[in-house]
Amino acid sequence: MNSRWKPSVTVAAIIERDGKFLLVEEHTQDGLRLNNPAGHLDPGEGTVQACVRETLEETAFHFTPGALVGIYMSRFEKAVPGQARPLDITYMRFAFCGTLGDEVAGQALDEGIVRTLWLSPEEIRACVPRHRSPLLLTCMEDYLAGKRYPVDLMTVDPSVYGAKP
């Protein structure tokens, strides 16, 4: 049995316009929750490409990452029906800020996404119980504090995209 621990790698877009942040409202097992446009890294893509894809899928907007806001880890336990022990999940999130592009007319939002909405920092701080992840607030606060790192901080080897070494 392979018991090697592996965190789930995710990406998130921290998108601010006119003092408000673009969030998604989505169905979860815990009801409707708010989150940054975010999702899992898929095989064959780097974190920047994943962030572009996830933002389009969840918001119907093109997104160009301009800077890395930070790399974050969070952990939670999730009850599993019929099992005594909860599922222990750790996420590693790469959060990017950048430029929101055009909306793709007619683009359906990802399954589970109810809508997109723009909220001020005060509104986001006031609804913490509705956050899907504790990282939503942390990433926003880091963005507001001016944390920015070069997008090319992480190098993606061509082998990730299927090139032979």
Domains of the chain: 8-148 (3.90.79.10)
Q: For the whole model, what pTM was predicted?
A: 0.91
Q: What mean pLDDT do residues 75-99 have?
A: 89
Distance CA 99, CA 108 (A): 21
Q: Where residue 147 falls among pLDDT bands split at 50, 70, 90?
A: very high
Is residue 36 a contact partner of residue 55, using CB atoms and an 8 Å limit? no
Confidence of residue 164 (pLDDT cuts 50, 70, 90): low
Q: Considering only 12-16, 49-53, 76-80, which range has the smallest mean pLDDT?
A: 76-80
Q: Would you state the structure tokens that stand for residue 127, as one six-digit string?
A: 């609804």
Report the C-alpha gap between 74 and 53 in whole angstroms. 22
